Amino acid sequence: MRRLGFGAMRLCGPRIMGWPDDRENALAVLRRAPERGVSVIDTSDAYGPEVNELQLAEALHPYPEGLVIATKGGLLRNEAGDWTPDGRPEHLREACEASLRRLRIDRIDLYQLHAVDGEVPIEESVGELARLREEGKIRHVGLSNVSIEELELAREVVPVVSVQNRYNLADRHSEDVLEACERDGRAFLPWFPLAVGDLAQPGGRLDDVARRHEATPAQVALAWLLRRSPVVLPIPGTASLEHLEENVAAERIELSDEDFAELAA
């Protein structure tokens, strides 16, 4: 599997709600991603809501061989765009089956619990995902936005193949979760991978390294993630064909030990 995915969330309308103004551009970006070797496309029933999964099916069904479609359930959206966890087993079953219909498939390659519901023990939530897996509706189970403790509780109930947490050069609070994934050979999908904060300011560490490699700061930020651990699979998102090409090209950047240490400092 190529170690660069695509996060489709930004192809929805403003605030990740509704359809984008340019629907054809969104479809073009989705079609171009696997052409450029993207191996995983990540979405969720909460993006739109529902819009993003419908876009994926319209653009790519029947899906190219080898392309992993990863979606998520367990977050609700309202008209104001708020995100509310719902990890009740009955909701997750309904959400998974609705995603199957929108994506036009019989089995979801990777189904992720989008967030832990503070009102529902995580064991109950992933227990339903385990049952859906046994029924053949899910191939693999993943988690998103979890602590190391929640990961350990979940993996006692069902095999967990991936974790998707916020992680980037400027925010490494999930370092312990990444280390656990690396130890166990579990994929780690950092969301918001291009957040770099002040590092990209002129004269900053990221800016200096980018100039040395004749690359953009975003490309170097992705290259750093790929170098950080062999289990890291970034999923940068964009609604721009130009930025998609730029992100994919980041795989060609080979950071030296000095580059990596300078950025990690």
Do strands 83-85 and 75-77 pair parallel, antiparallel, or not at all (unpaired)? antiparallel
Active site residue 167: no
Distance (Å, whole) CA 69 – CA 8? 11
**Choosing from 47, 63, 111, 167, which is the catalytic residue?**
47
The answer to whether the CB of 128 falls within 8 A of the CB of 93 is: yes
Distance (Å, whole) CA 36 – CA 39? 9
Return the closest-CA partner of residue 112 out of 153, 158, 52.
158
Return the closest-CA partner of residue 259 out of 206, 216, 222.
206
Q: 10 Å Cβ neighbour count for 132?
A: 23
**Residue-wise over 17-30: b if at least 16 C-beta within 10 A, else e?**
beebeeeeebbebb
Helix (H, G, I), strand (E, B) or coil at 149: helix
The residues facing 166 across adjacent strands are 191
| Catalytic (active-site) positions | 47
